[in-house]
């Protein structure tokens, strides 16, 4: 299932919009001599056009925006976000193949049918179209976010051959495989750092950031919130933005940038479909005092450069950045021909807050405007990356105080909104988890009694164990009203309905504060989504102009949804979709 490697010129001609434009922009920003030739010229022209185009009418440089004649409207663009449901896997905790209690790649491969069996007619799988592997490279840490060898697999998890087999089996089932790319820093035990710290004149010295070498004071506060990030080694201080054990790489050094490109290309050539980019904004944002538009632009330029290198191997590689920010203005530069997506941390908070309050908080209204802004900034290439929680946050079921109805409504919101939804492993069975980090990454629960062949047991389920009798795959598979069944149903809806999967979002006021309502419109379909967040049945009148197009209930998750005399009744804690 390996993809054919293209030469850089083939790739940039085939996709000048992103690749060569990034190179051209990088050239301009670095005041260097950017790539010239027809592709670069074309890209510059498109840059110029983008600045003067009327964004709301623009079809975008790649023509993804599609003309559509809507009911009663003049010609408008549908800005689709072609989407895939992803599942975030912590390999150590997911499935064990050899009985040592540590999850591994073979165990994950054996369990792919749980995620998607490749057959759309069977409904006892989740139906996801992608997995995100948390770091799988050798590392002294249990979590792997400090890498010691970027081109091999952690021996706990298996071998490169196991990875190739996983990719092959995943692709057979229509599952893409993306992996964590952790390159802001290495492990302190990486051979590069060991050499760098041993000699001031060695080859790798300048691969890291040494205060004394750069003539700056080893003081200041880390932009990642970890205090003073300077640590002493052999009489000099190196930078560790996240932690003493994670020395930052020096991205001002062209050798470092080239090496990181090579590493990315290595994995794409192996068949990996893309990357989740860890700590993307901390490449140059090391100290609090670095924060600002200049540093953001420098980060974005580097990621555009990286993107160009990835496009040379696989122009379809997917890149989603961890840019942990709430300001759309700060996130937007990363969506300009660098990443396809950035995780939507603000939306995650909005969803959880709405389901807890059982009240619409205008999340669709805000989201519609945010998407419009990102579409303009990305030349219509943007696809949101939406989620409820990840491996750095307390688990959803814990945050929702074990309220299963609220967990179901959070899932329903997540899986009916635009963009690639990311489900954190265990979320679909309502596993509990509260910090410290080890306890939000506990062994996935396959069976009530823990006696599954593939059950991992590298750590005790200290937090999730409390509800394991209920929060496990075996128990919930047998129950039609379980959280797992709700996830399976919602993902199936999404896979079946083009508007729900790819459609553009528009908020649609229902006049009822307990209802979150919005439309999703794709080129060929327009649906109205109504979520009743409350514990009582609710009514929505279809008399208003915005809602009057919708007549038929095509999906509903509760019992008793109906339309009577232009009024939709929606059962407690349920979702209806109308066409
Ligand atoms: Ca194992
Ligand atoms: Ca299936
Ligand atoms: Ca850095």
Condensed to tens digits (0 to 9), the pLDDT of residues 410-462 reads 999 999 999 999 999 999 999 999 999 999 999 999 999 999 999 999 999 99
The whole-angstrom distance between residue 545's C-alpha and the CA centroid of its chain comes to: 35
The whole-angstrom distance between residue 207's C-alpha and the CA centroid of its chain comes to: 29
pLDDT in the model for residue 545:
85
Q: If you measure from the C-alpha of residue 438 to the centroid of ligand 3, how many angstroms do you get, rounded to a whole number?
A: 25
Chain-wide mean pLDDT for the chain? 89
7-11, 228-232, 259-263, 527-531: least confident range: 7-11
pLDDT in the model for residue 164:
98
Are 209 and 239 in contact, with CB atoms under 8 Å apart?
A: yes
State whether residue 527 is helix, strand or coil: strand
Residue at token pair 């006892």: 124
**Of 100, 56, 95, whose CA–CA distance to 79 is shortest?**
56
* Domain spanning 86-182+258-281+311-496, CATH architecture: Alpha-Beta Barrel (3.20)
Span 167-195, average pLDDT: 98
Residue at token pair 């409904």: 123
Band of pLDDT at residue 76, cut at 50, 70 and 90: low
Span 119-123, average pLDDT: 95
Span 472-492, average pLDDT: 98
> CA dist 537 to 12, 362, 437, 542, Å?
55, 20, 39, 16
pLDDT in the model for residue 179:
98
Q: If you measure from the C-alpha of residue 104 to the centroid of ligand 2, how many angstroms do you get, rounded to a whole number?
A: 23
Q: If you measure from the C-alpha of residue 444 to the centroid of ligand 1, how many angstroms do you get, rounded to a whole number?
A: 14
pLDDT at 284 exceeding the cut of 60: yes
Q: If you measure from the C-alpha of residue 456 to the centroid of ligand 1, how many angstroms do you get, rounded to a whole number?
A: 8
For the domain spanning 191-239, the CATH number is 3.90.400.10
Are 485 and 459 in contact, with CB atoms under 8 Å apart?
A: no
For the domain spanning 500-578, the CATH number is 2.60.40.1180
Span 78-82, average pLDDT: 96
pLDDT at 23 exceeding the cut of 70: no
Band of pLDDT at residue 61, cut at 50, 70 and 90: very low
DSSP H or E run through 177: strand 176-181
Residue scoring higher pLDDT (504 or 74):
504
State whether residue 345 is helix, strand or coil: helix
Q: If you measure from the C-alpha of residue 554 to the centroid of ligand 2, how many angstroms do you get, rounded to a whole number?
A: 21
> CA dist 377 to 368, 382, 530, 569, Å?
14, 8, 30, 40
The whole-angstrom distance between residue 167's C-alpha and the CA centroid of its chain comes to: 19
Which ligand lies nearest to the CA atom of residue 101 in the structure?
1
Q: If you measure from the C-alpha of residue 161 to the centroid of ligand 2, how many angstroms do you get, rounded to a whole number?
A: 27
Q: What token pair was written down for 531? A: 């979520």
pLDDT at 68 exceeding the cut of 80: no
Which ligand lies nearest to the CA atom of residue 281 in the structure?
3
Span 101-119, average pLDDT: 98
For residue 436, whether the previous peptide bond is cis, meaning omega lies within 30 degrees of 0, is yes
Q: If you measure from the C-alpha of residue 494 to the centroid of ligand 2, how many angstroms do you get, rounded to a whole number?
A: 13
The whole-angstrom distance between residue 307's C-alpha and the CA centroid of its chain comes to: 16
Nearest-angstrom CA–CA distance, 285 and 324? 12
> CA dist 354 to 326, 350, 367, 395, 433, Å?
17, 6, 14, 17, 21
pLDDT at 25 exceeding the cut of 60: no
Which ligand lies nearest to the CA atom of residue 248 in the structure?
3
Which ligand lies nearest to the CA atom of residue 105 in the structure?
1
pLDDT at 208 exceeding the cut of 90: yes
pLDDT in the model for residue 10:
31
- Reported pTM: 0.88
pLDDT at 356 exceeding the cut of 90: yes
pLDDT at 17 exceeding the cut of 70: no
Span 342-353, average pLDDT: 98
Band of pLDDT at residue 249, cut at 50, 70 and 90: very high
Nearest-angstrom CA–CA distance, 24 and 8? 14
Span 238-253, average pLDDT: 98
**Of 467, 550, 477, whose CA–CA distance to 508 is shortest?**
550
Residue 436: exposed, middle, or buried by beta-carbon count in 10 A (0-12, 13-18, 19+)?
exposed
> CA dist 225 to 208, 393, 469, Å?
20, 16, 38
Which ligand lies nearest to the CA atom of residue 129 in the structure?
2
pLDDT in the model for residue 16:
30
Span 320-337, average pLDDT: 96
The DSSP bridge partners found for residue 89 are: 133
Answer yes or no: 278 catalytic.
Answer: yes
State whether residue 541 is helix, strand or coil: strand
**Of 327, 224, 207, whose CA–CA distance to 280 is shortest?**
224
20-24, 150-154, 382-386: least confident range: 20-24
Q: If you measure from the C-alpha of residue 6 to the centroid of ligand 3, how many angstroms do you get, rounded to a whole number?
A: 31
Answer yes or no: 322 catalytic.
Answer: yes
Nearest-angstrom CA–CA distance, 386 and 77? 23
Q: If you measure from the C-alpha of residue 317 to the centroid of ligand 3, how many angstroms do you get, rounded to a whole number?
A: 24
Q: If you measure from the C-alpha of residue 233 to the centroid of ligand 3, how many angstroms do you get, rounded to a whole number?
A: 18
pLDDT at 65 exceeding the cut of 60: no
Which ligand lies nearest to the CA atom of residue 290 in the structure?
3
pLDDT in the model for residue 46:
34
The whole-angstrom distance between residue 155's C-alpha and the CA centroid of its chain comes to: 26
Residue at token pair 């008793």: 560
**Structural domain boundaries in the chain:** 8-66, 86-182+258-281+311-496, 191-239, 500-578
pLDDT in the model for residue 77:
80
Nearest-angstrom CA–CA distance, 544 and 331? 36
Percent of the chain with pLDDT over 70: 87
Catalytic, out of 125, 169, 322, 428? 322
As a three-state string, the secondary structure of 415-450 is CCCCCEEEEECCHHHCCCCCCCHHHHCCCCCCCCCC
> CA dist 221 to 225, 278, 283, 294, 298, Å?
7, 20, 16, 18, 20
Nearest-angstrom CA–CA distance, 186 and 195? 13
Span 363-370, average pLDDT: 98
Residue at token pair 């290595």: 266
**Of 108, 101, 103, whose CA–CA distance to 128 is shortest?**
108
Catalytic, out of 125, 180, 273, 278? 278
State whether residue 400 is helix, strand or coil: coil
């Amino acid at each position: 299932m390996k993809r054919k490697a293209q030469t850089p010129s083939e790739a940039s001609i085939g996709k000048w919009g992103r690749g060569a434009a990034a190179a051209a922009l990088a050239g301009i920003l670095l005041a260097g001599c950017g790539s010239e030739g027809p592709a670069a010229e074309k890209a510059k022209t498109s840059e110029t056009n983008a600045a003067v185009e009327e964004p709301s009418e623009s079809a975008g440089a790649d023509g993804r925006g599609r003309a559509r004649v809507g009911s009663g409207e003049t010609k408008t663009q549908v800005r689709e976000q072609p989407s895939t449901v992803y599942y975030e896997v912590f390999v150590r905790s997911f499935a064990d193949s050899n009985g040592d209690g540590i999850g591994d790649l073979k165990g994950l491969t054996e369990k792919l049918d749980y995620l998607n069996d490749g057959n759309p007619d069977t409904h006892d799988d989740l139906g996801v179209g992608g997995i995100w592997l948390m770091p799988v490279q050798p590392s002294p840490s249990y979590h792997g976010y400090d890498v010691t060898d970027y081109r091999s697999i952690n021996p706990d998890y298996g071998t490169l051959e196991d990875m190739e087999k996983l990719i092959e089996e995943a692709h057979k089932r229509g599952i893409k495989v993306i992996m964590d790319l952790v390159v802001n820093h290495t492990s302190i035990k990486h051979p590069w750092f060991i050499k760098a710290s041993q000699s001031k004149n060695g080859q790798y010295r300048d691969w890291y950031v040494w205060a004394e070498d750069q003539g700056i004071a080893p003081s200041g506060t880390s932009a990642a919130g970890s205090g003073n990030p300077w640590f002493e080694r052999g009489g000099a201080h190196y930078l560790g933005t996240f932690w003493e054990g994670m020395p930052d790489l020096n991205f001002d050094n062209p050798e470092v940038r080239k090496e990181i490109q090579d590493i990315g290309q290595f994995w794409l050539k192996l068949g990996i479909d893309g990357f989740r980019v860890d700590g993307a904004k901390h490449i140059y944002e090391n100290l609090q005092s670095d924060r600002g538009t200049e540093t953001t632009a420098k980060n974005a330029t580097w990621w555009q450069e990286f993107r160009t290198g990835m496009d040379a191997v696989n122009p379809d590689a997917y890149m989603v950045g961890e840019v942990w920010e709430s300001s759309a203005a700060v996130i937007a530069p990363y969506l300009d021909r660098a990443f396809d997506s950035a995780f939507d941390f603000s939306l995650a908070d909005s969803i959880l807050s709405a389901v807890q309050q059982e009240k619409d908080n205008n999340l669709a209204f805000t989201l519609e405007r945010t998407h419009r802004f990102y579409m303009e900034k990305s030349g219509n290439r943007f696809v949101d990356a939406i989620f409820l929680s990840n491996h750095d946050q307390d688990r959803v079921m814990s945050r929702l105080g074990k309220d299963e109805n609220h967990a179901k409504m959070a899932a329903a919101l997540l899986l009916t909104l635009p963009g690639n939804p990311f489900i954190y492993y265990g979320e679909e069975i309502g596993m509990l988890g509260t910090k410290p980090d080890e306890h939000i990454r506990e062994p996935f629960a396959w069976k009530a009694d823990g006696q599954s062949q593939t059950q991992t047991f590298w750590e005790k389920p200290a937090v999730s164990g409390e509800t394991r009798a209920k929060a496990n795959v075996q128990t919930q598979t047998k129950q039609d009203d379980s959280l797992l069944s709700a996830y399976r149903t919602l993902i199936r809806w999404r896979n079946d309905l083009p508007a729900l999967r790819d459609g553009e979002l528009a908020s649609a006021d229902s006049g009822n504060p307990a209802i979150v309502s919005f439309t999703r419109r794709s080129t060929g379909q327009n649906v109205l989504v109504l979520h009743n967040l409350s514990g009582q049945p609710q009514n929505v009148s279809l008399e208003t102009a915005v809602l009057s197009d919708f007549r038929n209930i095509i999906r509903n998750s509760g019992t008793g949804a109906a339309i009577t005399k232009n009024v939709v009744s929606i059962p407690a804690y349920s979702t209806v979709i109308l066409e």
